[in-house]
Amino acid sequence: MSPLLIESDPATAAELGSAVGQGSPVCVTVDAARAVLADSPDQDVVVVGPTAEASVAMRLAEEFRVTHPFRSVILVRRRLDAALLGEAMRHGVREVVDGRDLAGIHDAVSRGRRLAERLRAGDDPDTMHRPRRGSVVTVFSAKGGCGKTTLSTNLAALLAHEGRSVCLVDLDLSFGDASIALQLVPEHSITDVVAMGADLDREGLLGLLATHSSGLRVLAAPSSPAGAETVKPEVVSRLLGLLTEEFDFVVVDTPPAFDDSTLAALDGTDKLIALTTLDVPAIKNLKLSIETLQLIGFPHERIRVVLNRADARVGLTARDVESAIKLPIAARVPSSQDVPAATNRGHALALENPKHPVSRALADLVAAELPGYRPAAVPAAGRDPARRSRRLLRPRKDLS
């Protein structure tokens, strides 16, 4: 059955009709839509067009949770923002799609239909996928230059070196350089995930990952900023879901913005490392970021604030940061010229020099904040003394 479209503007309705399916019933008001739905109990998808109030979609979604749990509501907007996305999802709207993205609207309708089919077949929505094996750790800063990629690559390499299976996803789709920081020349990138489309599966995704000497696997950002436009939020959600089935940890390096891909990653994030430095713009952006996270309903207890270059003498202190953001600082990483020097060599400082103060701060962060972290056991016999000297700090009790 073709989805029901709620849209009062004939031209917009005609344009959306090409995406949702020709022959779809069009209603100009929500009352007219209710009348049509009353006679069509098997209607699985309702698309609310851009001229309708967002509240219409939210009210319908809340009603359908009780009366028609198989039915999906898809909200089409001309402009997306974090507050709207969060509110819509909290009310039960299945997806929010950009009105210019006709292919994305078509795909959202298809997903709504497939979900209804599976629910009617008796599938439990909580067991439709393999159980998650790993945790998603997302590193975010709303201001560039805070050391986000350095932190992401070092945390991921540190975990991999300690015997965990780890994948680093470079989600800075326009200017990501995690591969460069690790001296990798990947043959594939996240745009190859897009090319796989509906055929994306575990085996195909693993074939796109580069491998670092530590054992860390890396999914690179596009080689050109133009590739960013092809990566849709649903692609990010799908690939993160597959990766958590395969790896103990999935570390996500993000752009300095709440774009659609970042929001998709946040939906599956178990621990958010919010990074800042001792300067007013960075602290202001961190405060706004935390407020935005609250608006979209991201669990407060999953946020961990990390202060980079914490010993800089610039007239501000860690206490000033905590006072501004109303959250404690989970880790303080000191300044060091060795950090950019290691990056320029394509090395992770946490592995190259485990006794370095920066490395020890990162090891403390990993031990205290990342769920399930345990160092790899080293056999007592034949243990390499040089490797023993590189052992990192013993984990403290998991605080998550």
CA-based nearest residue to 350, from 332, 341, 335, 363: 363
Pair 351, 161: CB distance under 8 Å:
yes
* Residues contacting residue 52 through CB under 8 Å, at least 6 positions apart: 6, 7, 8, 30
CB 369 within 8 A of CB 344: no
Nearest to 16 by CA among 94, 121, 95, 103: 103
Q: Which residues are bridge partners to 218 per DSSP?
A: 168, 210
Q: What is the pLDDT of residue 275?
A: 92
Residues 6+ apart with CB under 8 A from 374: 162, 395
Answer for the pair 136, 53: CB distance below 8 angstroms, yes or no.
no
Residue 207: its pLDDT value, please?
A: 85
Q: Residue 187 CA to chain centroid, in angstroms?
A: 23
Residue 131: what pLDDT? 58
The C-alpha atoms of residue 256 and residue 68 are separated, in whole angstroms, by 39
What does the pLDDT read at residue 86?
67
Q: Answer whether 4-126 and 135-389 agree in fold.
A: yes
Tokens standing for residue 14: 């005609």
Q: Is the whole-model pTM more than 0.75?
A: no
pLDDT on residue 170 = 95
User: Which fold does the domain 4-126 belong to in CATH?
Assistant: Rossmann fold (3.40.50)
The reported pLDDT for the residue numbered 132 is 57
Work out whether the CA dihedral 211, 212, 216, 220 comes out positive or negative.
negative
How many Å apart are CA 363 and CA 200, to the nearest integer? 35
Integer Cα distance of 400 and 389 in angstroms: 29
For 188-215, give one letter per residue: b (16+ CB within 10 A) or e: ebbbbbbebeeebeeeebeebbbebebe
Looking at residue 279, what DSSP letter applies? S
* pLDDT tens for the chain, residues 1 to 400: 789 999 999 999 999 988 887 778 999 999 999 999 988 888 899 999 999 999 989 999 888 888 888 899 999 998 877 667 767 877 888 888 888 888 878 888 888 888 888 777 765 444 444 555 788 999 999 888 888 999 999 999 888 887 789 999 999 998 888 998 988 888 888 988 887 776 677 778 888 899 888 889 999 998 888 888 888 888 899 899 999 988 999 999 999 888 889 999 998 899 999 999 988 998 999 999 999 898 888 888 899 999 988 888 877 888 888 888 889 998 899 988 888 888 888 788 888 898 999 989 988 888 887 755 454 443 333 333 333 333 333 333 333 3
Domain boundaries, the chain: 4-126, 135-389
CA distance 45 to 27: 14
Tokens at 301, concatenated: 């207890």
Q: Which amino acid is residue 33, in one-letter code? A: A
Q: List CB contacts of 338: < 8 A, sequence separation 6 or more.
A: 349, 353, 356, 358
E-only strand ranges, the chain? 4-6, 26-27, 45-48, 72-77, 95-98, 135-140, 166-170, 210-211, 217-219, 249-253, 271-276, 303-308, 329-333
Q: In this structure, which topology does domain 135-389 adopt according to CATH?
A: Rossmann fold (3.40.50)
308 — phi, psi (to 5°)? -90, 150
Nearest Cα to 74, choosing from 45, 107, 103?
Answer: 45
